[in-house]
Amino acid sequence: MLEKKHLEFREKVRAFALEKIEPAAAALDLEQRFPDEHMQPLTEMGLLSMLIPEKYGGKPTDTVTYSIAVEEISRVCGSTGIMLAAHNSLGTFPILYFGTEEQRQKYLPRAARGELIAFGLSEPDAGSDAGGTKTHAHREGDYWVVNGSKCWITSATRAFATIAVARTSDDPQDKHITSFIFERDWEGYSVGKKENKLGLRGSDTAFLHFDDMKVPQANLLGKVGEGFKQMLITLDGGRISIGAMALGLAQGAFDCALRYAAKRVQFGKPIAHFQAIGHTLADMATEIEAARLMIYEASAMKDAGVPFSRQSAMCKLYASEVGTRTAAKAITVLGSIGYNTGVYPVERIWRDVKLCEIGEGTSEIQRLVIARDLLKSLEKVG
Ligand code: COS
């Protein structure tokens, strides 16, 4: 399915990840430190502008290439992987897709230069039920006045702008939700305390608060009332990248388990030669390969411009569950040393990959999206 250009890109980005990203991965996790040192190399490699057209300073690629990038970076560092995925898929995509030319010219060149854009959908009372947004915006002349909070915001402490939705109707029953581009420097915009998470500890996650924040009409994204659908369209693409992230983490755990099993001698031979371990490795490799094919298929469908919501949900669901299974099995293969912190990366990966079953829609939401789509296709057939 992959073309020569994809294989060549994989080699290039893998070498880059090993040289520039992997050396800091364990320390970022241990110290809960944002990967500041990765920003310049990632920008120079074009990995923070993969969806941005050249005229705005980007280095655009197809979605398959983008998925390979997220996969390979996550293979060595989940925290850097999620920062990359959130910025490209959730930060830059909505501006490109729904923004005006003026908005693209204002924000995309900065994003291409490595300044991060965040995505604010979730709220304390609006997680899986994203339509339950309580953040509110009302019009006052040329401005919107916004009040509310967003939670679990990736790169919240670093982002110079955030794509976020607010309710623009007083009726809690309707989904009259509108998207905006908010800027960090505005009065009324504040960033909450960094969350203390199980994994992805190098990725900054925090609340955003908006307190009587005045938003110029020019920062309305798309049309009033279309925000909820825009966010669901954005998440269709984002879910592929979370699948790619889970895939990379799974591959990282598997690589470690395979190498360890091939050299760890017990009962007079490497443990990989015992059937129990050999079959475990075979199952891990098979599931990883299946996840990879699903991710590339969903990516190719997005590039082809055909509906891909179902495939996006499926690849995210499957890859993230493969990721958690693979990381757990990798610890089993390594035994006690795998359970130790800071010796092998498998315990970090085990902690990191769990997020892939939660972020950008839980596994339960992916199953809901898939089931609804299956029924819709049945209705079409009759
Ligand atoms: N693309 C475009 N439009 C879509 C869409 C998609 N992928 N999915 C749904 N829509 C449309 C529907 O067709 C519907 O349109 P109409 O109002 O014109 O009929 C509208 O959007 C509302 O959809 P729906 O009725 O299905 O909304 P629900 O509230 O029932 O459920 C789910 C939507 C549960 C799928 C959504 O809330 C969701 O994905 N939740 C998880 C949120 C999430 O991932 N959060 C993580 C954010 S972290 S970054």
- CATH, residue 90: 1.10.540.10
CATH for 124:
2.40.110.10
Does residue 89 line the site of ligand 1, with CB under 6 A? no
CATH for 322:
1.20.140.10
Domain end residue (candidates: 225, 259, 285): 225
Domain end residue (candidates: 81, 116, 151): 116
Instruction: Point out the least confidently predicted range of 58-72, 168-182, 202-216.
Output: 168-182
Domain end residue (candidates: 116, 145, 178): 116
122 & 170 share domain: yes
- Using the mean position of ligand 1's atoms as its centre, give its distance from the Cα of residue 9 in Å: 34
| pLDDT value for 236 | 98
79 & 196 share domain: no
141 & 51 share domain: no
pLDDT in tens, 350-359: 999 999 999 9
| pLDDT value for 172 | 62
90 & 204 share domain: no
- Using the mean position of ligand 1's atoms as its centre, give its distance from the Cα of residue 326 in Å: 30
How confident is the model over 185-213, as a mean pLDDT? Answer: 98
> Is residue 378 scored above 70 in pLDDT?
yes
Mutate to test the pocket of ligand 1, among 229, 317, 364, 379 (most ligand atoms within 8 A of CB): 229
Burial class (CB in 10 A: 0-12, 13-18, 19+), 138: middle
| pLDDT value for 175 | 66
Burial class (CB in 10 A: 0-12, 13-18, 19+), 109: middle
Write out the catalytic residue numbers: 360
Does residue 119 line the site of ligand 1, with CB under 6 A? yes
pLDDT above 90 covers a percentage of the chain that reads: 96
Phi/psi at 20 (5° precision): -100, -30
> Is residue 37 scored above 70 in pLDDT?
yes
pLDDT in tens, 115-127: 999 999 999 999 9
- Using the mean position of ligand 1's atoms as its centre, give its distance from the Cα of residue 248 in Å: 27
Rounded distance between C-alpha atoms, residue 119 and residue 121, angstroms: 6
Dihedral-angle region of residue 132 (phi above 0 means left; psi in -120 to 50 means alpha; beta otherwise): alpha
Total number of domains constituting the chain: 3
> Is residue 171 scored above 80 in pLDDT?
no
Does residue 153 line the site of ligand 1, with CB under 6 A? no
* Partners of residue 242 on adjacent β-strands: none
Does residue 122 line the site of ligand 1, with CB under 6 A? yes
CB burial of 265-285 (b: ≥16 within 10 Å; e: otherwise) equals: eeeeeebbeeeebeebbeebb
| pLDDT value for 1 | 72
Question: If you search the block for the tokens 């309710």, which residue do you land on?
Answer: 167
Does residue 85 line the site of ligand 1, with CB under 6 A? no
195 & 265 share domain: no
- Using the mean position of ligand 1's atoms as its centre, give its distance from the Cα of residue 376 in Å: 14
Q: What amino acid is encoded at 102 in this protein?
A: E
| pLDDT value for 381 | 72
In angstroms, the Cα distances linking 57 to 7, 50, 65, 164 are: 25, 10, 18, 24
20 & 145 share domain: no
- Which residues span the domain enclosing 302? 228-381
193 & 265 share domain: no
Full-model pTM: 0.97
